[in-house]
Chains A and B, each alone.
Chain A
């Protein structure tokens, strides 16, 4: 059985319906009056479109400068604050563990046997 294309999905315009609708929607007054009416607004439309755009750009520019200045000041203050209150550098691990002069150190280096851990820690505590 051959499938007939459905007239419901006709891809061509319907001339009869189109003509009837056209007549129903057509304005019967003078078309040139409408054209004149549009053209009377020609310059105003261009002016309205131009002036607010410039105003907006100008306002953006002013706002941009203000925001940039505020950001610069805030950055400067923050940076200065960080530098002033920065803690002194923490001693490194090696520096903390390095042996220095003291009785603990003498006992440690003169011992025959490996020292007990408590001796090592005592020597370190003595130094501090």
Chain B
């Protein structure tokens, strides 16, 4: 099955029961879904679980999807909700807020080699931001969604999205500028 097929065509095929068509959609949106889930959850393993929940939930709800609208925001809304649900369950279970130390994903054999110092700092900074704020800035600056689309994904007014992106950027840009000063 070609990767060049449009989302709309793939969705029609998936609705007709073509498993491979859904597979192509998963492949196409996997990286984005994992990043968005990680922005919400911090921990990469939890994020992958949430992204998986999101894809499977989307599969079950595919019949409800309005083909006149873009697929990405619809899917990201489901993924973000799955991540938020998981985070709530985790918070209840652990009875503590998102831990900045968790953001690195815990010790992994090759993690230190792969992660940059800036990456660590950004993840820590993201973890300190409120959930909605960090999700909004990732959806805007990383995934390229519009304010209106993010408003739909997060279920908040467009003005609130602008405000959240503004506050998140202010914090993250400061951090980025400091880091650039240090490495100069």
Contact = CB atoms under 8 A, between A and B. Distances in A.
Interface of A: 8-9, 11, 13-14, 16-18, 20-28, 31-32, 34-35, 37-39, 41-42, 45-46, 48-49
Contacts of A41: 52, 56
Top-5 shortest CB links A-B: A18-B141, A24-B119, A45-B56, A24-B122, A49-B60
B138 interface: yes
B27 to A, nearest CB: 5
| Interface band, chain B | 35 or more
Contact of A23 (B38, B116, B137, B166): B116
B118 interface: yes
Dominant SS among interface residues on chain A: helix
B22 A42 contact: yes
Contacts of B57: 45
A18 B173 CA distance: 10
9 contacts: A14-B141, A14-B169, A17-B141, A21-B137, A21-B172, A27-B38, A28-B114, A38-B56, A39-B26
Interface in B19-33: 19, 22-23, 26-27, 30-31
B59 A42 contact: yes
Contacts of A14: 141, 169, 173
Interface of B: 19, 22-23, 26-27, 30-31, 34-35, 38-39, 44, 47-48, 51-52, 55-57, 59-60, 110, 114, 116, 118-120, 122-123, 126, 137-138, 140-142, 144, 147, 162, 166, 169-170, 172-173, 176
B30 A22 contact: no
Contacts of A11: 147
A16 B172 CA distance: 11
